[in-house]
Amino acid sequence: MANNTSQSSHRATLQSDYPWIHPTSPLITSAPMRLIAQSELALAVSRAQGIGFLGLGTDVTGLSSLLQDCSTSLSTTPIQDTPSGILPTGVGFICWGASLPKTISAITSSALKPCAAWLFAPSSLSSLVEWSEGIRKASDGKTRIWIQVGTVSSALEVAQACSPDALIIQGSDAGGHGLVNSSSIISLLPECADALQSSGFGHIPLISAGGISDGRGMAASVMLGASGVTLGTRFLASPEAVVKEGYRKAVVEAKDGGVSTGRTKVYDQLRGTTGWPEGYNGRGVLNASFRDSVAGMEFEENRKLYQQTEGRIESEAEWVGEKARMTTYAGTAVGLVRSVKPAGKIVEEVRKEAAVLLESGGRSRR
């Protein structure tokens, strides 16, 4: 089984690799949400002694400009203890659709290298090896490799093939894209930790993802074997997230996330983002687009209604309420997201609540 000694070693590794992070708390990171996690959100999380990730997704044409945006901001207001030549923000890629050559070119030409690259959804294990090796070479080893997995078997395969610097263990409660078949982190995380430990990969730090939005989730993740957590849905309700106000309101107003959100391919089909490898779908807030599909509406009619809605995306009604149709990717933790707060404040509150719980043996003081 994974143990406290392993977690202490993992935290020491993370502190060494990313010396600006909080020295006594488990690591808090923001997910590289495609098009949503831009420089403002990533920097806010890193300035709060976490690691913010830029969400490139499948389109890396903007990578150089995003890296430059971060570099420019940091040149005037640097983050203390950032190593020379390093950007204290990471970058995230959806590997099946992103261009590795363009990624390598952008990282090579950047004076400051991103501190980590989050790799997700490759077309094959061999392509994931190419991504890992290519980014390491392009950054002269300065960019650490983080790989997202959602099963025990994939965690072991990736650990052996890619020698990742960290593994993100994503449970089925996560918003946005993930595996069709997976389990929640309550069982997935400790099983991965145990399997990796017994197979000789116990040195790899584990980052928990999926269904975490407050300090209780972070404290639980630590008890299950994680040395850090990733929040995605919670940061949607921050002003730094690049989403329409209707999207943000839909997240804050959603309750009972296990039934108000669901995993489906409907939204990918309506948006035309259909290149995902077999075995992936997305979790989002269920609305009229989904309900009409389930009720048997012809796809062309559903798509026509969706495209009409896209022309009115500034309208709150297209995101919130019974007639809403727009894609609102979010995880089951939406019911715990009750207000909009600055990203840095979210990091501080989650860290503080988790510390109290971990110090008190898990007894909540709410």
Q: Residue 2 — very low, low, confident or very high, per pLDDT cuts 50/70/90?
A: low
pTM beyond cutoff 0.85:
yes
Q: From CA 40, how far away is CA 183, in angstroms rounded?
A: 32
Tokens of 98: 């992103």
Burial of residue 287, with CB atoms counted within 10 A of its CB: 0-12 exposed, 13-18 middle, 19 or more buried: buried
Q: How confident is the model at residue 293, as a pLDDT?
A: 97
pLDDT tens string 158-178: 999 999 999 999 999 999 999
CA dihedral defined by 299, 300, 306, 312, rounded to 10 degrees?
A: -170
Tokens of 215: 């300090």
pLDDT the model gives residue 317 = 86
| Separation CA 208–CA 171 (nearest Å) | 8
Q: What is the pLDDT of residues 270-297, one digit of tens each?
A: 999 889 999 999 999 999 999 999 999 9
